[in-house]
Structure 1
């Protein structure tokens, strides 16, 4: 599967070719009726009817087959769109410029050319349409019968209805796809690729919003800062690959143990951060103790002897805090105390004595 994906990446335009197939197939299918409605009254030779059937019925799958097997599918499809302009000009002159089908074909070709290459392709398409008209005039001579009979009008109705509907559906699907891609890119810009938690920048933005919300509603909430104990030693002793595995595993355990409304992020390096709504510090401790127990049970095949522990500082929301930074600093001071007291423990900011409260923090630096 990866090999096939790499081949698709090396051959740009496959999605463009796939999007172009159905509008071409359906457009030529209903276009056959419009052209045939005029040819029927012109006593056209059998070979011309065969040519029309081949172009409208065989050309769409053939063009798709050629494009998807081309080294550059996008360029191949652009050439096919220009060929459609040449063929369209040929059929316009062949039906002696009958007004209604002529106008519809010109509009259809203009849409296709615009979608394939913008204004430049509109100009190229117009030149090729003129060339196609010239080819028809060389074969059949010049004819001009612009009047559209009621029968020919009826034959054009499917093209008037079906082709715009097909284009609309293609554009709708494209808009949905672009929306999904935009959402995915937005999520990627917010997510830390290693831990699958929010990255520091986006988490801090969310923290400010959460702080303002709690200040307005006076709801209880807690903020936790988490440090992986002795992570630098793990990195130095076992290598950065093992270190990445540790952070990834901790991130997975964080996601697994949090409630749906909790807001978790990677604060930086080996530090994690969590906002726990509707949880006072004692309730937050219970949730985080489960997380500590799970992380303590982690084992790594490449380093069986490795044991992981967490130091955690927790600060409850206080409406008297000046801003979100002050809340973060409270959790940071509690984390510093947890590390100073021997690590592998949870400390609440309410448990800090005056001496601990004056110690400089580490996570807010």
Structure 2
């Protein structure tokens, strides 16, 4: 098993401050319960070391371990044993003992879930039995006012700190979830929507057009002779061409338009509330912009686009039929010379726009 430098060390660091705070607050509670029992000096020394040095020692041991995650889980079990030990040492004095054991249990269940919680309970029982074997304490059934007040910081402050830590962790998890959600919908090369996300958006737009009977146009865009670009200039240049088109789509389309990479060298766009002629004008500007661009480092490299567009029609029986119309228009653009915009037939009229020619 390789060293868990990511998850393991972050877990160790996350536990360091709560452990130090809990042990420090627990010292007050245990000390108030121990004092009437007049324990030996070594017991006080152990309590002081555990309360104010234990968290740092455990942190260093886990940090330097080959397996920090598992070292920290062992630390939690050790905490449980020591919690049980101090509970037993004070004769199971109700308030201090169960305050300490409760805080240890809170750590265990928040760190490892129910199963780890029960393991912690067993470790606490082991600690109690060790204390009983060493001290043979008399069972204490009542807590004094001093012991009550000494336990209040542990009962009030520590749960707040754990709650705050859990809240911060929940916020981080939410942020990670949002990032993963964005990544799952984004094409890594171009930054546009990926194939699946764009088709989901198309399905939503189809439903909206059905409900509101609004005019929306979709487009499929193909980079002409992209295979030749890869074969002549290499795949790195080919990837840069794809990135460049992605950037041009973002710059030349409106904020309401939804652009995606359909696959390979094919891109797709949804233009809401846009007629066929309006979409053609928008995409013609894009086509001309791309066609006129030149890379000083590769002057021989040119890029042109074939574009098929289709407007929503009430007779479409699904988003797939709409997309198929755009695909037919794209095929027609490619088969009649490329570097042009072609629309799906509308009442037997074929719409085409070629290299700045008149739209009509």
TM range (shorter): 0.7 to 0.9
Q: Please point out which of 32, 38, 55 is paired with 1:43.
A: 38
Pair 1:149-2:144 in alignment: yes
Q: Please point out which of 299, 316, 325 is paired with 1:330.
A: 325
Q: Look up the match of 2:95.
A: 100
Q: Look up the match of 1:114.
A: 109
Q: Look up the match of 1:64.
A: 59
Residue pair 2:11, 2:69 contacting (<8 A) in 1 also = yes
Pair 1:125-2:120 in alignment: yes
Residue pair 1:8, 1:14 contacting (<8 A) in 2 also = no
Q: Look up the match of 2:358.
A: none
User: Quick one: distance in 2 between partners of 1:322 and 1:123?
Assistant: 58
Q: Look up the match of 2:234.
A: 239
Q: 1:1-365, aligned counterparts within 5 Å?
A: 10=5, 12-299=7-294, 303-349=298-344
Q: CA deviation at 1:161?
A: 1.4
User: Quick one: distance in 2 between partners of 1:10 and 1:43?
Assistant: 45
Count of residues in correspondence between the two structures: 351
SS at match of 2:271: strand
Q: CA deviation at 1:275?
A: 0.5
Residue pair 2:215, 2:312 contacting (<8 A) in 1 also = yes
User: Quick one: distance in 2 between partners of 1:205 and 1:310?
Assistant: 25
Q: CA deviation at 1:310?
A: 0.9
Q: CA deviation at 1:325?
A: 2.5
User: Quick one: distance in 2 between partners of 1:302 and 1:123?
Assistant: 67
Shifted more, 110-119 versus 156-165: the winner is 110-119
SS at match of 1:311: strand
Q: CA deviation at 1:71?
A: 1.9
Q: CA deviation at 1:248?
A: 2.2
User: Quick one: distance in 1 between partners of 2:123 and 2:272?
Assistant: 66
Residue pair 1:12, 1:72 contacting (<8 A) in 2 also = no
Compared with structure 1, are the counterparts of its residues 35 and 329 closer, same or farther at alpha carbon in structure 2 (3 Å cutoff)?
same
User: Quick one: distance in 2 between partners of 1:221 and 1:119?
Assistant: 53
SS at match of 2:309: strand
Q: Which 5+ residue runs of structure 2 have no aligned equivalent? A: 353-360
User: Quick one: distance in 1 between partners of 2:39 and 2:327?
Assistant: 87
User: Quick one: distance in 1 between partners of 2:299 and 2:85?
Assistant: 75
User: Quick one: distance in 2 between partners of 1:250 and 1:8?
Assistant: 42
Residue pair 1:93, 1:143 contacting (<8 A) in 2 also = no
Residue pair 2:3, 2:67 contacting (<8 A) in 1 also = no
Q: CA deviation at 1:78?
A: 0.8
Shifted more, 288-297 versus 33-42: the winner is 288-297
User: Quick one: distance in 2 between partners of 1:324 and 1:163?
Assistant: 56
Q: CA deviation at 1:202?
A: 2.3
Q: Which 5+ residue runs of structure 1 have no aligned equivalent? A: 1-6, 358-365
User: Quick one: distance in 2 between partners of 1:73 and 1:304?
Assistant: 55
Q: What root-mean-square deviation, in Å, do the aligned CA atoms of Structure 1 and Structure 2 show?
A: 2.7
SS at match of 1:223: strand
Deviation per residue, 1:117-167 (Å, 9 max, x gap): 445544543443344334434543333222111221111111111222222
Compared with structure 1, are the counterparts of its residues 324 and 127 closer, same or farther at alpha carbon in structure 2 (3 Å cutoff)?
closer
Shifted more, 300-309 versus 100-109: the winner is 300-309
User: Quick one: distance in 2 between partners of 1:37 and 1:355?
Assistant: 91
Residue pair 1:334, 1:352 contacting (<8 A) in 2 also = no
TM-score normalised according to structure 2 size:
0.87
TM-score normalised according to structure 1 size:
0.86
SS at match of 1:85: helix
SS at match of 2:190: coil
User: Quick one: distance in 2 between partners of 1:318 and 1:142?
Assistant: 86
User: Quick one: distance in 2 between partners of 1:124 and 1:278?
Assistant: 61
Q: CA deviation at 1:208?
A: 1.6
